[in-house]
Amino acid sequence: MNAAATAPEATDSTPPAAPRIPGAALRELAMPLMLAAIWILFAVLSPQFLSARNLSMLLIELSFTAALAVGVLLVLLPGHTDLSVGAGAGLTGGIASVLVFRYGWPAPAALLLSLAVGLVLYWGMGWFIVRNRIQAFIVTLGAMLAFRGAFWLVIGSVTTPVARGGETNLYSLLTTYYLPPAAGLLLAAGVVAVLGWLTWRTRQRRLAADAAAESAEGTFLRIFIAAQGVLLTVLVCNQYRGVPLAFLMLCAVALAVHVMTRHMPFGRYLYAIGGNEEAAVVSGIPTQRVVTTAFLILGGIVAVTGFMATAYAGASTTTVGDLMELDAIAACVIGGTSLKGGRGTVLGALFGALIMASLLNGMTLLSVLPETKFIVRGLVLVFAVWMDVKLRRR
Cα separation, 312 vs 133, in Å, equals 38
pLDDT in tens, 352-382: 999 989 999 999 999 999 889 889 888 877 8
Query: Which of 107, 169, 87, 129 is CA-nearest to residue 293?
Result: 129
What was the pLDDT predicted at 15?
Answer: 41
AA letter at 156: G
What was the pLDDT predicted at 195?
Answer: 81
Please calculate the CA angle 192-350-348 and round it to the nearest 5 degrees. Answer: 100
In the chain, the N- to C-terminal Cα span, in Å, equals 43
What was the pLDDT predicted at 394?
Answer: 59
What was the pLDDT predicted at 393?
Answer: 62
Bridge partner list, 178: 244
pLDDT in tens, 305-349: 999 999 999 999 999 998 899 889 989 988 888 888 898 999 999
| Cα-based torsion angle of the residue sequence 76, 66, 330, 150 in order, rounded to the nearest 10 degrees | 80
What was the pLDDT predicted at 106?
Answer: 95
Most confidently predicted of 10-14, 18-22, 183-187: 183-187
| DSSP label at residue 369 | -
Residue 49 pLDDT greater than 60, yes or no: yes
What is the domain partition of the chain in residue ranges? 178-243
Cα separation, 244 vs 179, in Å, equals 6
Q: How many CB atoms lie within 10 A of CB 359?
A: 19
Using DSSP bridges, classify how beta strands 315-316 and 160-161 pair: parallel, antiparallel or unpaired: antiparallel
Average model confidence (pLDDT) across the chain: 88
Residue 90 pLDDT greater than 90, yes or no: yes
- Tell me the three state secondary structure of residue 169: coil
| Burial of residue 47 (number of CB atoms within 10 Å: 0-12, 13-18, 19+) | exposed
What was the pLDDT predicted at 268?
Answer: 94
| Burial of residue 185 (number of CB atoms within 10 Å: 0-12, 13-18, 19+) | middle
